Structure 1
Amino acid sequence: MKLCIKSPERKMDFFVEMGAYNGEEFSNTLWLERKHNWTGLLIEANPDLCRQIDLLKRQAWRLCACISNNFKQTEFIQSGAIGGMASELDNDQMKTVETNQTISVPCFNMIEVMDKIGVQHIDYFSLDVEGSELIVLDSIRNELISGKIVVNIWSIEYRTWDGKQNIINKSFQKLKNLRDFFENIGGYVEHSQLNNEDGENRDGMALDVVFVRT
């Protein structure tokens, strides 16, 4: 399977946004690109959303695929911002899915992707893949430990939402799993948790957690 990545024309500070949606709504990196001249890599598995990203002509690489060390392809539920790997969406998350339509999408090893574009240092990594976050992190565990890949700042979504409310016990468990991962690899501290303007930032209630390299 050939790895095809659309590339920008310049290199500045570098981000990765995995779960890029349409490249504009909910984007954690568009502001960095447009206001601060960053570039980066946008990863989105839904081909319909990838086409929308391309229309924006963002100054970033764009990969339309999933990231995994274990699969060459996977079944992906194509449901807008809530889409994800069919094997990783739990019953609560499935309540938010508008359709059960699945498509087969290619998967690539993250190291293969970063080697392809010649980047090993990531200033900011935004990870929002509807339940597959630890799969992605585990796929680069050894490289983060060895320093082959360096990430300065992570923001990772951990909330489990069923369409009406936060499933607090599941959100808390995901947060614990993320903390365990970063404690295990070493070299990071938890910086903060992020939420919407009127939301709480305490454990299990926030939307994202931020880890910073020491």
Structure 2
Amino acid sequence: MLQFNNSYIFVRKNLRRISQQQLKTFGAILIFGSLGFLTVEYANKDLNTVADNFGIDCSEVRRYKKAGLYEESRRRFKDVIVHYKIINLKDEEHNIDLRPFLNCLDADDPYLAHVIENEMLLPPAPNNSEYNLKNPGRKEIVNNHQALDIMEMVYKNKLKNGFFVEAGAADCEFSVSLPLEANYGWTGILVEAVPGFFKHCKKVNRRSYLINTCLGTDTHPSFMEFNMQSSGTLDEKKKTRAMAGFNSNSKSKKDVYTIQCFPLESILSALYNPVVNLFVLDVEGFEFAILRAIDWSKVNIEVLSVEVDIAGVLMKDSSVEIIRDFMKSKGYQRFTHRNDFNPSTGKNLNDLYVRHDIVELYDVVQLPDKSTVDDPYLDGSFYDVV
């Protein structure tokens, strides 16, 4: 009964912002919500049914949903939680959950938003809580050139209480959004897939939502192979590797695990689709895969800071030029981040994209490089990837 009441409240809160077609889907929430969950324990070596989505046929689920056969769906399908454990380099145990039924839902499905909101998102720390930072200098905006450009070049230090999404949030200290949160009252969503990093994120007391997942490369949730150590080798001669990310050219499978990724729209829908003043996308070479999966008609993103220096190295159908042309087609103007040169790749690390209406509203112009405080904590090479 309690589960039904919670679903009813959820429907009431969203009633004014949904279409008639979506109302039918909300009916499914009440039915699927009454199913309860089956939890299945798996070892990673036993995840041999990922390819067939653990026996749940998404084409069948979609066919029943389209026909409105919710009672039949109730008898045939379960929102099963497949649970398994991984061990990191520090011999710490972490849990990973897979929910194959969710892979059958569209990005804007209300039941999917309900699950993310109530079972996956961790709420922000109170605004009056103290940060628990190993390196307090990281919250100073002068020490973060990306955050500095967002406020000086774009928003002219005027935007208070903004909203961000940071994908690839690492330990939530080495973070573009931290100075915006600490000094300008911003909040948002910190997305981090690596369990060890996420464990640290929970200790930092960020005043933003946390979610232990990855942004997906499809229009619905999906299972992805994720390398918890490195998404691939960048330079064979120099033996340089990217940080953790989608698995590409790894020769070893010992650090590769199956995780479930979610579309950006799904995560935003869980918070009632807020305006995103800044989207930070740093996913070790697979940025374009995420960008092209977004339904841009269903999100409101003003500014993006996108890592581009290894575009095309690990994801072969990507490149800096492809990303720039794509963002231009979506109505964004590119600017150059200041003080952003990466000597390892010989390129700028990130591109700054500002939607045309925001360029006009804030009179955004390119600014020249300027000196910033030399903060040794901005070097992320010391990370133990877990």
Label 1:13 to 1:20 Cα distance change in 2 as closer, same or farther (>3 A).
same
Q: What does residue range 47-58 of structure 1 map to in structure 2 within 5 Å?
A: 47-58=195-206
Percent of matched pairs sharing the same residue = 28
Shift of 1:72: 2.1
Which residue pairs with 1:207 in the alignment? 349
- Conservation of the 8 A alpha-carbon contact between 1:14 and 1:40: yes
Which residue pairs with 1:29 in the alignment? 177
Which residue pairs with 2:301 in the alignment? 151
Code of the residue aligned with 1:188 in structure 2: it is Y
Shift of 1:151: 1.1
Q: What does residue range 82-161 of structure 1 map to in structure 2 within 5 Å?
A: 82-86=243-247, 89=248, 91=249, 101-140=255-294, 142=295, 144=296, 146=297, 148-160=298-310
Which residue pairs with 2:323 in the alignment? 178
Tell me if 1:67 matches 2:215: yes
Code of the residue aligned with 1:183 in structure 2: it is K
Label 1:65 to 1:137 Cα distance change in 2 as closer, same or farther (>3 A).
same
Which residue pairs with 1:164 in the alignment? none
Distance 1:211 1:7 in 2: 29
How many aligned residue pairs are there? 191
Task: Provide structure 2 residue ranges, at least 5 long, that are not aligned to the other structure.
Answer: 1-98, 100-114, 128-159, 231-241, 357-386
Name the structure with the higher strand share: 1
Shift of 1:119: 2.8
Which residue pairs with 2:226 in the alignment? 76
Shift of 1:208: 0.4
- Provide, for residues 166-209 of structure 1, a one-character-per-residue CA deviation record: whole Å limited to 9, x for no partner: x7xx9xx6210111111222x21112145547859xxx711101
Distance 1:83 1:116 in 2: 26
Distance 1:133 1:151 in 2: 16
Shift of 1:71: 5.0
TM-score, normalising length from structure 1? 0.78
Q: What does residue range 8-23 of structure 1 map to in structure 2 within 5 Å?
A: 8=124, 12-23=161-172
- Provide, for residues 133-168 of structure 1, a one-character-per-residue CA deviation record: whole Å limited to 9, x for no partner: 11211121x3x2x2x31111111111129xxxxx7x
Q: What does residue range 190-201 of structure 1 map to in structure 2 within 5 Å?
A: 190-196=334-340
Distance 2:179 2:229 in 1: 25
Distance 1:127 1:85 in 2: 14
Label 1:194 to 1:178 Cα distance change in 2 as closer, same or farther (>3 A).
farther
Name the structure with the higher helix share: 2
TM-score, normalising length from structure 2? 0.45
Code of the residue aligned with 1:211 in structure 2: it is Y
